[in-house]
Amino acid sequence: MPIASCRCWRREALVDTANVQAGQRVLIHAAAGGVGHFAVQIAKARGAYVIGSASAANHDFLRGIGVDEVLDYRTTDFTETVHDVDMVLDPIDAAHGLRSLRTLRPGGVLVSIRALGTEVLKAEAEKLGVRAKVLLVEADHTGMDALRELAESGALRPTIAGSFPLADAAKAHALGDTGRTVGKPVLTVD
């Protein structure tokens, strides 16, 4: 839970970088995924209105963790239906991030956790009057304490995509790499 949830909290997205506040509109791509499902819960804990993209098969899961509006990325072009959001979390890639910039209100911020295409993303954001940040995980005590408090209160719950013995670590990693999981794979040590 710490690495995926830290990506959403400290210096990574919702709190330090975007400073998501109550009443703001937040678009979270891959909202059912390992990072996305934590981002949803953190945004909701901060009082945001959350729009989450995922396949239709995951929409009930998203509603269950608090997503206010769900989008099926397979049938809906989010650039045509989502506008004037304050923040976008895009864990997919730079090309997707470029499209996501067009959903932001003036002054809004896109946070990507993929380092490729950083300069192009930032240059396009500047042209559009929005901001783009590309951030990688950096755990810290303050962020971890805040996440622990959210978890203890029940506001932050990990979703397990599958449980694998340590000997099958490669299988767990391969599952995570598909980009089609709900939650995160977990390794168990006997």
Tell which residue, 98, 42, 32, 19, has the closest CA to residue 64: 32
141: Cβ contacts below 8 Å, ≥ 6 apart: none
Whether pLDDT at 10 is above 50:
no
Token representation of residue 24: 């703001």
The model's pLDDT over 60-119, given as tens digits with 9 standing for 90+, comes to 999 999 999 999 999 999 999 999 999 999 988 888 999 999 999 999 999 988 766 788
The model's pLDDT over 161-190, given as tens digits with 9 standing for 90+, comes to 677 777 777 777 677 666 666 666 777 777
Identify the residue with better confidence: 150 or 83: 83
pLDDT at 29: 96
pTM over cut 0.75: no
pLDDT band at 9 (very low <50, low <70, confident <90, very high): very low
If residue 41 lies in a helix (H) or strand (E), which one and from where to where? helix 36-45
The model's pLDDT over 103-147, given as tens digits with 9 standing for 90+, comes to 999 999 999 887 667 889 999 999 999 999 887 655 555 666 666
Identify the residue with better confidence: 151 or 80: 80
Tell which residue, 154, 160, 182, 123, has the closest CA to residue 44: 154
Enumerate the β-bridge partners of residue 162: 185
pLDDT at 181: 66
- Structural domains of the chain, with CATH: 2-134 (3.40.50.720), 159-190 (no CATH)
Q: What is the distance between the alpha carbons of residues 103 and 88, in angstroms, rounded to a whole number?
A: 8
